[in-house]
Structure 1
Amino acid sequence: MHFSFLQGLVEVTQISTAGLGDHSYIINIDGVAAIIDPQRDVARFEQPLEAAGLQLNAVFETHIHNDYLSGGAILASRNGARYVLPYGTGATVSHIGASDNEDFIVGDAVIRALHTPGHTHHHTSFALVVDGTPLAIFSGGSMLVGAVGRSDLLGPDHTQTLLESQYNSVRRIAADMADATLVTPTHGAGSFCAAGTASGSVSDIAQEKISNPALLAPDLATFKTTQLAGYLMYPDYYPTMAPVNRVGADPIDESPIPRLEATDRTGRIIDVRPREEFAACHITGSINMPMSSDVGTYTGWMFGNDEEYIFVASQDDAETVRLQFQRIGFDRVIGRIDPAGVTPALTDSGTYPTSTFADMQATDAGFMLDVRDPVEVGRGTIDGAINIHVATLADNLEQIPDTPIWTFCASGYRASIAASVLAAAGRSPVLVKDSFSAPSRATSSVETI
């Protein structure tokens, strides 16, 4: 997405990362560039700089990120640019600490720091100001599009304080910026760093005044209650990101991924084939993460970055998934198995059945397992279902009887992961592969484990 101001003198390019639900930005002020919140795979930022002949002047981070490894220090070092972090983060990587209301000159523009705690204690938004006019506010995890960044990621001891800070910070942004100021957050739709449902990737202050929960809430207490009620579970890898970002992440490995024999079992196997293909034939013990932008997120949620990984994937898919892994510090990818090699001829191949919601309801299935988030389940599920979030399933197998387990979610994606976890544990899953939509036996009452 591209935005232009002042007859093209100032241009802003939004670069999105679907699996993270995040947005980064390249700001071009008449040939002088700044970058906001880049991920570790820096080539996709360097290439447009080079193509447009831009000189990188500064890289800004709105906060020490919890959901990915930053490429900011790498970009700044390679390009002789300033690396600007919020003041007081405790980061040891070489940087400049931005104080509240401090101005940074980039070409003929000013990037102004606004201390906006709430997502983290030191969170800072950056306003793009030209001739005294704020053109855009890069609001990171503060003011999002119709939402705010969540305040619970640092743990329960910080949540109440951060919620109050977030409420005040979003109101500060609305007061300090003009109605026409573009709102360009880092966290967006699909980000577990967002509280509630972020409805897009850009907005403006006028729109947020009529849609943002921190501005619509009648008081702080109401805002806190509403926010806490909507917090989804978030990936287990999150606490490992900030410590690395404070010292600076290493560049990624771009060497070719070796092709392995189909009999290789030297690492945890992540199979990205479609759910029906996996169910029909898979390597026993492998995990099905159907190819999507979410493979890295769910792997990071369920497994560790100290393990070695093997993909069942084409070369192109393997490279794409490795990049998702690298963005969250899962660097130990040792190879890939070609999907054509996974056949019933393997001595350790397995299979399990698939079905539909209609069949599950028509057959009066026994044990029904809803693997969605408890907040989703609270809005309604199948009468009689048990809820165990997909990411905690492996730790709760003792709660599941040794019978056929009808496994479902909203779209079939998380259910496919869960079915493979059950199969790897020697259980008997039945994968409900279609979408959850107003089942006839719906209820809002369910047992969550």
Structure 2
Amino acid sequence: MELMSFRTPGLGDQTYLLIHDGQAVLIDPQRDIDRFLAAAAARDVELRFVLETHLHNDYVSGGEHAARRTGAELVLPAAAAAVYPHTPAFHHEEIKSGGLTIKPIHTPGHTPEHTSYLVSIEGEPVAVFSGGSLLVAAAGRPDLLGPARARTLARLQHGSLHRLAALPRQVGLYPTHGEGSFCTTTGAGRFTSTIGDELDQNPLLAIGEMERFADQLLAAPQPIPAFYQYMGPTNLHGAPPMPATTVPELAVADLADLPAETRVVDIRPVAAQATGVLPESVTISMGDDFGSWVGWLLPYQAPLVLVAEPEQDTAEAVTQLAQLGIDTVQGVVRDLTGATTTPVATVDVAGARRHRAEPDSQTLDVRMPAERAQLPLPGAVERFLPDLAEAGIPKQLDPARPVLVVCGSGRRAAIGASLLRRAGYHPVVLTGAGAEEVAA
């Protein structure tokens, strides 16, 4: 058996391609399926099955189109009741092809329909693909479908984890969600494991009482990205195939002809943004989490225009957006010559400390509530970055005076500063450092 994993760092997810005896099984593919199908083609194997563990909350699935392109059998949890053709997976029936046997295991908790898949080769169980159920040192979140169902799903998750923990110790554990995913309750820094290692090391498996387990899972609610509300329905009904990743080249003057709801997203590095940005732009430098921040902070499916450096590749930006079902990029602007721009004020740690030492200084902390609770920044006005976009600028901040914007590393501060700038404030961004360095 050969097992390949394809990690998408910005979403904290993994897709798997299992290969055995000329056949391949693809598990939880994202929408950009070419990378998975190319790997199968390079090994000259037939894609026999595409397995989905659940209706994903964090990305648009590519399962339907991977199956259509290759003729593979698409297998989804029976209770998902997706509207496109598929083979429904129930509980403990066997799906066989040659020496390969796939046994669905109903593991509700992350979602009601959630199903894991135990794979045996020549009768020997070797791997379980646990999606958002049993994770490495963690479990999938039970609250993504809303608070009304969270406790019921948390109770179900307790039973599901122990159901998987009853598998042989040597069975490999291959979750879809992992470190960096908002679908996991905690993170261990590892992405795969074994049943034996989880029995020995996963603290949640040591909680035998169901209600105490549910208390633990729900004790510290995490934010839910705004775009999550669109992923489940999209995966239920199906999405169009992955779009092309090339977009038209635009001039600044072309922006006047675009719809009024168009949003300008500057993806250049902070150093380039510092020389001047379009006043209406939101600055989200290209990175692994670019798509997630666009999906969380901007109106879903709003027309988008990217601002990039002359030689900057925009294909990854378009791909990350398409993974969330955002196919609305109208084009890219690469030349700001002659355009009215606003410089981005930045400071290092020493400059941030000087700012905070001045009379009547203002600091805005855009970290997550859990981060702020662990390490408060005295005197700072607190508002989590997505809340800054949704609820607006805190009234304590004076638009007439500079506002130092701080996060954990500088990335979210730069994004938050652009939201302040659009509202008429004068932000100063702490770059390359965060609250810990300023408070030290």
Shift, 1:264, TM fit: 3.1
Corresponding residue SS for 2:271: helix
Q: Please tell me whether residue 336 in structure 1 is matched to residue 344 in structure 2.
A: no
8 A Cα contact 1:33 1:106, kept in partner:
no
Aligned to 1:38: 29
Q: Which amino acid letter does the alignment assign opposite residue 328 of structure 2?
A: R
Q: Which moved more, 1:140-149 or 1:365-374?
A: 365-374
Residue 182 (structure 1) aligned to one of 172, 185, 192? 172
8 A Cα contact 1:128 1:135, kept in partner:
yes
Q: Which amino acid letter does the alignment assign opposite residue 296 of structure 2?
A: W
Corresponding residue SS for 1:240: helix
8 A Cα contact 2:14 2:177, kept in partner:
yes
Q: Which amino acid letter does the alignment assign opposite residue 285 of structure 2?
A: P
Shift, 1:440, TM fit: 6.9
**C-alpha RMSD over aligned residues:** 1.7
Aligned to 1:401: 398
Corresponding residue SS for 2:291: helix
Q: Distance in 2 between matches of 1:426 and 1:298?
A: 22
Q: Distance in 2 between matches of 1:336 and 1:293?
A: 19
- Ranges in structure 1 where 5+ consecutive residues have no aligned partner: 1-9, 443-449
Shift, 1:439, TM fit: 4.5
Q: Distance in 1 between matches of 2:204 and 2:295?
A: 31
8 A Cα contact 2:99 2:123, kept in partner:
no
Q: Which amino acid letter does the alignment assign opposite residue 308 of structure 2?
A: A
Q: Distance in 2 between matches of 1:192 and 1:57?
A: 31
Aligned to 1:354: 346
Shift, 1:198, TM fit: 3.8
Q: Distance in 2 between matches of 1:312 and 1:107?
A: 52
Q: Which amino acid letter does the alignment assign opposite residue 345 of structure 2?
A: P
8 A Cα contact 1:305 1:331, kept in partner:
no
Q: Which moved more, 1:273-282 or 1:409-418?
A: 273-282
Q: Distance in 2 between matches of 1:81 and 1:47?
A: 15
Q: Distance in 1 between matches of 2:203 and 2:251?
A: 53
8 A Cα contact 2:245 2:319, kept in partner:
no
Shift, 1:441, TM fit: 4.1
Q: Distance in 2 between matches of 1:381 and 1:412?
A: 16
> After superposition, where does 1:236-315 map in structure 2 within 5 Å?
236-254=226-244, 256-265=246-255, 266=258, 267-314=262-309
Aligned to 1:5: none
Q: Please tell me whether residue 22 in structure 1 is matched to residue 20 in structure 2.
A: no
Residue 412 (structure 1) aligned to one of 395, 410, 413? 410
Q: Distance in 2 between matches of 1:186 and 1:161?
A: 22
Aligned to 1:12: 3
8 A Cα contact 2:406 2:435, kept in partner:
no
> After superposition, where does 1:422-433 map in structure 2 within 5 Å?
422-433=420-431
> After superposition, where does 1:79-228 map in structure 2 within 5 Å?
79-175=70-166, 177-217=167-207, 219-228=209-218
Cα 1:275–1:123, aligned 2, differ >3 Å: closer, same or farther?
A: same
Aligned to 1:3: none
Shift, 1:119, TM fit: 0.4
Corresponding residue SS for 1:46: helix
Shift, 1:165, TM fit: 1.0
In the TM superposition, what whole-angstrom CA distance separates every residue of 1:72-120 from its partner, at most 9, and x where no partner exists?
0001111112111111113111111101112111331111100111100
Q: Distance in 1 between matches of 2:197 and 2:328?
A: 44
Q: Which amino acid letter does the alignment assign opposite residue 430 of structure 2?
A: V
Shift, 1:249, TM fit: 1.4
Q: Distance in 1 between matches of 2:350 and 2:203?
A: 38
Shift, 1:126, TM fit: 0.4
Aligned to 1:70: 61
Q: Which amino acid letter does the alignment assign opposite residue 16 of structure 1?
A: R
Q: Which moved more, 1:316-325 or 1:409-418?
A: 316-325
8 A Cα contact 2:76 2:87, kept in partner:
yes
- Ranges in structure 2 where 5+ consecutive residues have no aligned partner: none
Shift, 1:20, TM fit: 1.0
In the TM superposition, what whole-angstrom CA distance separates every residue of 1:34-68 from its partner, at most 9, and x where no partner exists?
11000111111111111111111111000000101
Corresponding residue SS for 2:80: coil
Corresponding residue SS for 1:411: coil
Q: Number of residue pairs matched?
A: 428
Q: Distance in 2 between matches of 1:411 and 1:226?
A: 29
8 A Cα contact 1:148 1:213, kept in partner:
no
Shift, 1:307, TM fit: 1.3
In the TM superposition, what whole-angstrom CA distance separates every residue of 1:355-413 from its partner, at most 9, and x where no partner exists?
13333233425221111111111101211112211112133225232221110111111
Cα 1:227–1:374, aligned 2, differ >3 Å: closer, same or farther?
A: same
Q: Which amino acid letter does the alignment assign opposite residue 410 of structure 1?
A: G
8 A Cα contact 2:263 2:305, kept in partner:
yes
Shift, 1:437, TM fit: 6.0
Aligned to 1:445: none
In the TM superposition, what whole-angstrom CA distance separates every residue of 1:320-348 from its partner, at most 9, and x where no partner exists?
1000000001101111011xx235x32x2
